[in-house]
């Protein structure tokens, strides 16, 4: 679309050039300038057209209405459902346990007031409302959010590591290590560890798998369900790779900001939440690929996609967003452990066999293929964003 517009503009200039001889030098320079821009755009972005109908449907997130409703209720202190109430009670108990452990160990948790207005709890409650409200206000589409990932993610990590030179540099090379059982078929461990940075997913084990998956970890990327479970442990322990490894997580449920608020106070390494604008971008991209695949393979209409993919629950995988993160903070990206095989387990470190239906893995694999071959435009990405080279290891 952009290429067509630029071509039309050039045609208009050529017409004007022929009609007004006195302005020929000016138009000649302008024509040269536009031709240069066009050639650069041709090199930067392929010309395969994106489907405008798919783009329009992918921009509609079915779950947004329920999410916004949940956020409003949480900000008002309404933990209506039994699940949220259990989360709230468990969270409150953890705070009491940590305070009692740090102070009078003879104190009984049952004797500590447990209301929202209690001094013990209220400080955490105010922090929770602030981070949730800030997150909700920023939740919108912004195509150029990829250019901000160095500042949002890498800069806080560098600062914690004492790198304060003021230059926001990307990692030279990054390995994103998925959890697929196909990793057990190859010895990629040494190759993975040779990268400048290694991103691992959802606290997958590396002990006893070093030859297959390596042992180096630079960033632990998790969904908030992982931190939700970690929050039940003393001190919010969530560090299979060491307490010095930063954790980046995306929010699955708004109520999980309760866990983030408590755990963030005790983490030595940064505990970062993905920017909601980045979440929206990832959601749109994967939905575009899922819609496209659904129509092409089933022959059904786009309106039938929701019922086939549990529309309100449909979500991108942790792996996809970790790859997206790497695209924004790394000069080169290598992808390991993504894909499946009939003879392989779903996860290399567990006995899980089945996939989660709320993800469309095949659509995500198509996205990875497009990253590698670079012959197809990536929907919703800014034209100014330069994709780094990507290698996919099978």
CATH of residue 377? 3.90.1480
Question: In this predicted structure, what is the pLDDT of residue 363?
Answer: 95
Distances (CA, A) of 51 to 44, 211, 292, 308, 380: 19, 43, 9, 21, 11
Say yes or no: 9 and 111 in one domain: no
* Whether residue 19 is found in the same domain as residue 149: no
If asked whether residues 142 and 13 sit together in one domain, one would say no
Burial 252-285 (b: 16+ CB within 10 A, else e): ebbbbbbbbbbbbeebebbbbbbbbbbbbbbbbb
pLDDT of 167 reads 76
User: What is the rounded CA–CA span in Å between residue 68 and residue 83?
Assistant: 18
Same domain, 150 and 35: no
- Nearest alpha carbon to residue 256 among 269, 271, 234: 271
Which residues does 31 contact at the CB level (< 8 Å), separation at least 6? Answer: 10, 13, 14, 17
CA distance 271 to 156: 10
H helices of 214-360, in order, are 224-230, 257-264, 276-298, 305-308, 318-329
Buried b (16+ CB within 10 A) or exposed e, 88-102: beebbebbbebebee
**What is the pLDDT, as a whole number, of residue 116?**
57
* pLDDT for the residue numbered 67: 87
- Same domain for 225 and 254, yes or no, is yes
Range of the domain at 196: 52-392
* Residues 200 and 346 grouped into a single domain: yes
Alpha-carbon span 273 to 257, nearest angstrom? 9
Decide: 333 and 326 in contact? Cβ < 8 Å: yes
Q: How many domains does the structure of the chain reveal?
A: 2
| Closest to 168 in 3D by CA, of 158, 178, 177, 176 | 158
Q: What is the pLDDT of residue 25?
A: 45
Q: Are residues 191 and 132 part of one domain? A: yes
Per-residue pLDDT of the chain (394 residues; tens, 9 = 90+): 444 444 444 343 334 334 444 444 444 444 444 444 443 443 344 445 799 999 999 999 877 878 888 899 888 877 665 455 556 555 555 555 444 444 443 443 433 344 556 666 778 888 999 999 999 999 999 999 999 999 999 999 999 888 876 678 999 999 999 999 999 999 999 999 999 999 999 999 999 999 999 999 999 999 999 998 888 887 788 889 999 999 999 999 998 998 898 888 878 899 999 999 999 999 999 999 999 999 999 999 999 998 888 767 788 999 999 999 999 999 999 999 998 877 777 788 787 766 666 789 999 999 999 999 998 999 999 999 999 999 999 8
356 & 248 share domain: yes
Residue 87 sits in the same domain as residue 232: yes
Q: Which helix (H) or strand (E) holds 6?
A: helix 2-19
Q: Are residues 76 and 110 in the same domain?
A: yes
102 in the same domain as 36:
no
Pair 91, 26 in one domain:
no
């Amino acid at each position: 679309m952009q290429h067509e517009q630029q071509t039309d503009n050039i045609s208009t200039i050529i017409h004007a050039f022929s009609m007004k001889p006195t302005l020929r030098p000016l138009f000649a320079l302008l024509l040269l300038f536009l031709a240069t821009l066009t050639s650069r755009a041709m090199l930067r972005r392929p010309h395969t057209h994106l489907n405008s109908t798919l783009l329009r449907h992918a921009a509609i997130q079915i779950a947004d209405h329920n999410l916004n409703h949940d956020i409003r209720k949480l900000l008002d202190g309404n933990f209506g459902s039994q699940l949220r109430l259990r989360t709230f009670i468990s969270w409150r108990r953890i705070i009491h346990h940590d305070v009692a452990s740090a102070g009078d160990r003879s104190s009984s948790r049952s004797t500590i007031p447990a209301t929202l207005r209690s001094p013990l709890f209220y400080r955490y409650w105010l922090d929770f409302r602030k981070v949730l409200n800030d997150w909700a206000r920023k939740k919108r589409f912004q195509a150029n959010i990829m250019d901000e990932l160095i500042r949002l993610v890498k800069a806080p990590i560098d600062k914690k590591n004492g790198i304060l030179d003021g230059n926001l540099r990307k990692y030279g090379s990054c390995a994103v290590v998925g959890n697929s059982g196909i990793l057990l078929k190859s010895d990629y461990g040494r190759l993975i560890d040779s990268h400048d940075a290694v991103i691992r997913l959802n606290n997958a084990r590396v002990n006893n798998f070093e030859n297959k998956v390596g042992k180096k970890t630079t960033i632990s990327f998790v969904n908030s369900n992982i931190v939700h479970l970690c929050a039940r442990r003393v001190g919010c322990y969530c560090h299979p790779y060491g307490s010095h490894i930063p954790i980046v997580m995306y929010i699955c449920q708004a109520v999980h900001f309760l866990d983030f608020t408590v755990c963030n106070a005790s983490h030595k390494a940064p505990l970062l939440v993905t920017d909601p604008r980045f979440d929206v971008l990832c959601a749109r991209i994967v939905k575009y690929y899922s819609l496209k695949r659904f129509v092409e393979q089933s022959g059904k209409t786009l309106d039938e996609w929701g019922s086939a993919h549990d529309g309100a629950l449909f979500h991108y995988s942790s792996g996809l967003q970790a790859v997206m993160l790497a695209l924004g903070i790394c000069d080169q990206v290598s992808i390991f452990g993504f894909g499946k095989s009939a003879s392989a387990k779903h996860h290399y470190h567990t006995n899980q066999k089945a996939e989660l239906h709320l993800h469309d893995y095949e659509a995500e694999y198509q996205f990875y293929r497009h990253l590698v071959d670079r012959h197809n435009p990536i929907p919703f990405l800014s034209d100014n964003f330069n994709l780094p080279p990507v290698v996919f290891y099978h």
